[in-house]
Amino acid sequence: MDFSHRRCTCAVPFVLLGLLPACTAPSARPAQSSREQPAAAAKPITVDSTEEQIRQAVATARMGRKLTPNTWPNGARIAVCLTFDVDNELLQRANPLPVPLSVGEYGATTSVPRILDVLDRHQVPATFFIPAMGVMLHPEMVPAIVSRGRHEIGVHGWIHEFWPGIGDAAKEERLLTQSIDYLTKAAGKRPVGVRAPSSGFSPQTFDLIRKAGFLYDSSLLAADEPYEIVSHGQPSGVIELPISEVGNDYVYYGETANGALPSPDAVFEIYKAEFDLGYQERTMFILTQHPHVGGRRSRIVQLDRLIAYIKSKPGVWFATMEQVARYVKPPRS
Ligand SMILES: [Zn+2]
């Protein structure tokens, strides 16, 4: 399958991995990139690179010690985080025309209420990563999420901008600060978690995340369980709650995946298998959904079914990412 023309996305680092699109804009026409500029300032690894240069090239945000506890709260054997990247119209920034915008708009008008209903029915928490300007466009979303009293809201950029494309650390920092402030005001609580739009980390992004005091990040993919991020050889104190491409609805339902694996039944089986091995390994299961994608009718019935399946197992801890991060965070030495 040719992924080379897939657009930059929400949760899977297409640009960084060159493999997956994650949250591209479904049926967005004409094609455009959510990257407004090419990735900047990442020096390529070449055959002429020295060992030290290669070591440094990968050193910004590496996997450190695993943080899965011996047991989760109440003796649970697995922690389950349901996460939603509420991108909506902001994937259509480069070509904001009514039809492609309406594809994203569906996420706010229809999917978010539908998702909240499913979560209510099961009485489980979730974490919503929302770009600040997505909150502005749909001011009803955050109160609807917050009013449930179980959910968390995390940072997902200002306009879902691609941070490596900014090419200016001060500007990137300003956007991050603006995003935190906007969500703090909207939700009445300062967010403690961040998921990079399009999983785009510039060479400066991790330092900015740490400087902003985030408890955790959820953009990297180096494991199936929580770990501490090591930056340039030093433990950072920032917890990573890693996502995965297989747990992301965009891989299956995004516009360039259409026809590849469109069956919600098949997607359910993949998610189930991911959960089942996590359950066996006593670690974590993190699901990443995009309301305007996974919230379509035929798909959300499978989410409902998946939650019911997971709930049928003993020893499952449904939690927000904040709750998991606080639980696994090691005491300061
Ligand atoms: Zn996103």
Name the 3-class secondary structure at 48: coil
62-66 vs 78-85, strand pairing mode: unpaired
Averaged pLDDT, 190-203: 96
HEC sequence for 216-229: EECCCCCCCCCEEE
Q: Is 21 left (phi over 0), alpha (psi -120 to 50) or beta?
A: alpha
Q: Residue 35 and residue 13: Cα distance in Å, rounded?
A: 12
Q: Is 10 left (phi over 0), alpha (psi -120 to 50) or beta?
A: alpha
Cis ω before 30 (30° cut-off from 0) = yes
The neighbouring-strand residues paired with 85 are 129
What is the model's pLDDT at position 258?
59
What is the model's pLDDT at position 333?
55
Tell me: the pLDDT tens digits for 19-77? Answer: 333 443 333 332 333 434 455 567 899 999 999 999 999 999 999 999 999 999 999 99
Compute, in angstroms, the gap from residue 132 CA to the centroid of ligand 1.
Answer: 12
Compute, in angstroms, the gap from residue 90 CA to the centroid of ligand 1.
Answer: 8
Name the 3-class secondary structure at 209: helix
Who surrounds ion ligand 1 at CB < 5 A? 10, 23, 85, 87, 197
Give the rounded percent of residues in the chain with a pLDDT score beyond 70.
Answer: 85
- Residue matched to tokens 């055959």: 47
Name the 3-class secondary structure at 154: strand
Phi first, then psi: give them for residue 82, nearest 5 degrees: -95, 120
Compute, in angstroms, the gap from residue 52 CA to the centroid of ligand 1.
Answer: 34
Residue 12's pLDDT band (boundaries 50, 70, 90)?
very low
Compute, in angstroms, the gap from residue 23 CA to the centroid of ligand 1.
Answer: 6
Element (H, E) at 82: strand 78-85
The token duo for 294 is: 């996974």
Tell me: the pLDDT tens digits for 274-301? Answer: 999 999 999 999 999 999 999 999 999 9
Compute, in angstroms, the gap from residue 131 CA to the centroid of ligand 1.
Answer: 8
Compute, in angstroms, the gap from residue 177 CA to the centroid of ligand 1.
Answer: 18
How many CB atoms sit inside 10 A of residue 33's CB? 20
Tell me: the pLDDT tens digits for 204-259? Answer: 999 999 999 999 999 999 999 999 999 999 999 999 999 999 999 988 887 766 55
* Mean pLDDT for all residues in the chain: 88
CB 66 within 8 A of CB 227: yes
Tell me: the pLDDT tens digits for 72-89? Answer: 999 999 999 999 999 999
Q: Whole-model pTM above 0.85?
A: yes
